[in-house]
Structure 1
Amino acid sequence: MSTAKTAETDVFTRRESAARSYCRAFPVVFDTAQGSILTDIDGRDFIDFLSGCSSLNYGHNDPDMKAALIDHISRDGIAHGLDLHTNAKAAFLEAFERHILTPRGMGHKVMMTGPTGTNAVEAAIKLARKVTGRTNVVSFTNGFHGMTLGALALTGNESKRAGAGGVSLGDVTRMPYENALGEDVDTLQMIEMLLTNPSSGVEPPAAFVVELVQGEGGLNAASTDWLQGVARIARENGALLIIDDIQAGIGRSGSFFSFDGMGVEPDMVTLAKSLSGFGLPFACLLIKPAHDIWKPAEHNGTFRGNTHAFVTARVALEKFWADDRLRNEIALKSQVLEERLHRIAERLPGARVKGRGMMRGVDVGSGDLAGRICAKCFDDGLIIETSGAEDEVVKVLAPLTIPMDQFREGLDILESAVESLPPFAFAAE
């Protein structure tokens, strides 16, 4: 590395907080990106199987979104508008209504929250408590919902919760996710018993908050029967159903919403990550009209709505969700991904494939082994990360729009990384 490039790297160690994370696994300086390819300052290309942790479902720098954004900026379109009415917001809402809500018969209102997923979760649990007059919220083992204190209270991960610095993370009851106690244990029966037994000690909940594919929790995927059971239990106990679709939504698990086709209409849905389509910060909360009882500015924020994100999100909706082409493309790639991951899992004793749609991975049984696989992939030109309670799942989050040849090339690198590990690497786990 040249002196100039070394200096560029040194500034991160010298000035950036120790909280930095992904850059430790991928120690290069990235410069440009297009589609499914990231390029560093040395001109080396990497296939991107991380996609901004599912914030770039349509890949990097989509040309149509970029052109619309450049046009908006060039003509001095509104850059920051608080929650003022703007033509960019109107165009987004109309596209979202036309392509997403109306075809599904969803009458939900769209609440612009702060720009990240945790802001949407905070708004959801605050509103659920306001609507029901209750404080307890049910979340699930291995769930991840954000890093601000309310969302963090819902989150199960020990290391993430430790970041609260000892502050109480209360008013939450953790329930077992589907199969959390083994496939022979009916967790719905357990949840129902705890909520109906007046001596269980569990307070009546304001809401159930659930991911249908647990992105950070190890790609555990809920079945239709289990989700319908949770919805029924929530309804019978006077609680709201909140689906966290921040990572599993917007096409990642097969359709725009992870609950599409599952026969459930949630009271609220949190969206963020790929909502802008372009990697711009943008989050919102979908609310059934009967629950939209906010007073003006009762929940607000300086960046509640990102006008530039409205521009790109509108293009994404019109380009990718006006017909079934992307959905069909996701289905085809999901089949390829599942087949390849099963082939890879067969090479690893005890490994198993997890997830749904284009949100899948291989549980290799060990965070150390998964880390070595991902490190080898990076050396060979593939950006891929882990998830799970102990980082034991090698997790594929390729852009939904990745060309099939690049997709197969990335999967070849992953398979080669597994094949390159010495036999003792598996025996030692």
Structure 2
Amino acid sequence: MTVAQPASDVFERLESEVRSYCRGWPAVFDRANGSRLYDENDRPYLDFFSGAGALNYGHNNPVLKRALLDYLERDGVAHALDMSTAAKRTFLETFQDTVLAPRDLPYKVMFPGPAGTNAVEAALKLARKVKGREAVVFFTNAFHGMSLGSLAVTGNAFKRAGAGIPLVHATPMPYDERPDGREPGFLWFERLLASEGSGLDTPAAVIVETVQGEGGINVARAEWLRGLADLCRRRDMLLIVDDIQMGCGRTGAFFSFEEAGITPDIVTLAKSVSGYGLPMALTLFRPELDIWEPGEHNGTFRGFNPAFVTATAALEEYWRDGRLEKQTLARGDQVEQALLAVAADRPGPAPDVRGRGLAWGMEFADPSRATAVCARAFELGLLLETSGPEDQVAKLFPPLTIGDEELEEGLALFGRAVRETERPPRSADRS
């Protein structure tokens, strides 16, 4: 006779110890709609996580879902590697018409594989192939993926240690820091490039996030990004912008670098490019960089046609006009004001608040505090994650399509979680 185990035990018995999100959110989720997930007991959770940025348009977006169901019901091609399909053609035409052409971006489109790290690996390989050099520069607190090439340009020590081998041919530089408070952040970089004794090989490329999501919601200034683009031009280095988490409207504009007025040589996109949480990634680059030989970078799942269908529907629904961008920026102002009010209402030094669009973080001096806030938020029915090298930042990532009342509800729950995790003063401090 077989004795049935509790449903949750199967995860502990069979699944690897590598799992992480489920440890902070001990629930078995069953369904999701819009800005909410529901567990098996039908308890709702307001989602300020958005699949780590993969669900910018919410869960089971009805417009995208209808397009996907129609495609599947007519037996549309699901798997095609890089063969030509009607779904791919429609996506490429729509992407050109709604995203690239209006921004005067000249990019060729590459489908490198299903995940963001595939897009980064392709970008790094292409930059090295074009320039004939090995070195790449990245920035402190960067996160670019978990495969070896992407890890080499990632700053997080814990994640880098998981590689098990030396991570080479990549050099870190400070991320938008001005050591003396006045000078731009490239003096050291410029000196290393100019010096014959610096030990820095001339880089093929520089890779950067305009807002470091996993690194702690660190926001680069527009003038710093423009300075970086100028430095790359002067020193014959390609500029790669990793827009995997901050692209597809997370900061307001479709691309996060638009505010700075720069045109990167290579751009990586993933996460919300499919619009529905389906795996899909893009590597975009200037046409003159397209020196790949056929099949030189490939992958079995680089042509996932259901993702093309939902991506096309998302572009048609949200990027034919500027409504979503304006709404995101307005709601970003709302989030900022709410977080500043929460920070100002706390005893002692106020936590640091920073972000753009609908990507925000609150940094606590005590790193354990951010973890406690996220744990209490979960108990209250709000999903948040931490970020930063010490998990010291509580990260707010609501869907771009969230309703006004839901946004206010989530901000209120966040404020409550912050208040309810404050430690009482020590007895010595009470006198």
Question: What is the 5 A alignment of 1:93-104?
Answer: 93-104=92-103
Q: Give the Å deviation of 1:346.
A: 1.5
Q: Give the Å deviation of 1:426.
A: 10
1:255 is aligned to: 253
2:412 is aligned to: 412
2:226 is aligned to: 228
Q: Give the Å deviation of 1:321.
A: 0.3
Conserved 8 A contact 2:116-2:244: yes
Q: Supply the AA of the counterpart residue of 1:83.
A: D
Given the alignment of the two structures, is residue 402 of structure 1 paired with residue 402 of structure 2, yes or no?
Answer: yes
Residue 58 of structure 1 aligns to a residue whose secondary structure is coil
- Partner Cα separation in structure 2 for residue 406 and residue 244 of structure 1: 30
1:156 is aligned to: 155
Seen in structure 2, the aligned counterparts of structure 1 residues 425 and 238 have a Cα distance that, compared at 3 Å, is farther
Q: Give the Å deviation of 1:95.
A: 0.6
Q: Give the Å deviation of 1:427.
A: 11
Q: Give the Å deviation of 1:361.
A: 1.0
- Partner Cα separation in structure 2 for residue 10 and residue 177 of structure 1: 43
Conserved 8 A contact 1:141-1:180: no
Q: Deviations over 1:81-116 (max 9, x none)?
A: 010000000010011000000001111000001100
Q: Give the Å deviation of 1:344.
A: 1.4
Residue 8 of structure 2 aligns to a residue whose secondary structure is helix
- Partner Cα separation in structure 2 for residue 209 and residue 203 of structure 1: 16
Question: What is the 5 A alignment of 1:166-245?
Answer: 167-179=165-177, 181=179, 183-184=181-182, 186-245=184-243
Conserved 8 A contact 2:251-2:329: no
Question: What is the 5 A alignment of 1:48-63?
Answer: 48-63=47-62
- Partner Cα separation in structure 1 for residue 426 and residue 353 of structure 2: 17
Q: Give the Å deviation of 1:313.
A: 0.2
2:68 is aligned to: 69
Q: Give the Å deviation of 1:134.
A: 0.5
Seen in structure 2, the aligned counterparts of structure 1 residues 426 and 371 have a Cα distance that, compared at 3 Å, is farther
Conserved 8 A contact 1:369-1:425: no
Q: Deviations over 1:374-395 (max 9, x none)?
A: 1110000000011001011110
- Partner Cα separation in structure 1 for residue 228 and residue 427 of structure 2: 40
Conserved 8 A contact 2:35-2:47: yes
Q: Supply the AA of the counterpart residue of 1:395.
A: K
Residue 187 of structure 1 aligns to a residue whose secondary structure is coil
Q: Supply the AA of the counterpart residue of 1:99.
A: T
1:327 is aligned to: 325
Q: Give the Å deviation of 1:198.
A: 1.7
Q: Supply the AA of the counterpart residue of 1:367.
A: P
Q: Deviations over 1:116-175 (max 9, x none)?
A: 00000000000000000000000000000000000000000011001112x110000111
Which stretches in structure 1 are left out of the alignment for 5+ residues? none
- Partner Cα separation in structure 1 for residue 180 and residue 85 of structure 2: 51
Give the aligned length: 424
Residue 353 of structure 2 aligns to a residue whose secondary structure is strand
Residue 212 of structure 2 aligns to a residue whose secondary structure is coil
Q: Supply the AA of the counterpart residue of 1:235.
A: R
Q: Give the Å deviation of 1:355.
A: 1.8
- Partner Cα separation in structure 1 for residue 306 and residue 85 of structure 2: 11
Instruction: Normalising by structure 1, report the TM-score.
Output: 0.96
1:36 is aligned to: 35
Conserved 8 A contact 1:358-1:396: yes
Q: Supply the AA of the counterpart residue of 2:248.
A: I
Q: Deviations over 1:240-299 (max 9, x none)?
A: 000000001111111100011312100000000000000000001001000010010001
Q: Give the Å deviation of 1:237.
A: 1.1
Which stretches in structure 2 are left out of the alignment for 5+ residues? none
- Partner Cα separation in structure 2 for residue 282 and residue 163 of structure 1: 25
Conserved 8 A contact 2:376-2:421: no
1:368 is aligned to: 368
Seen in structure 2, the aligned counterparts of structure 1 residues 247 and 372 have a Cα distance that, compared at 3 Å, is same
Given the alignment of the two structures, is residue 26 of structure 1 paired with residue 63 of structure 2, yes or no?
Answer: no
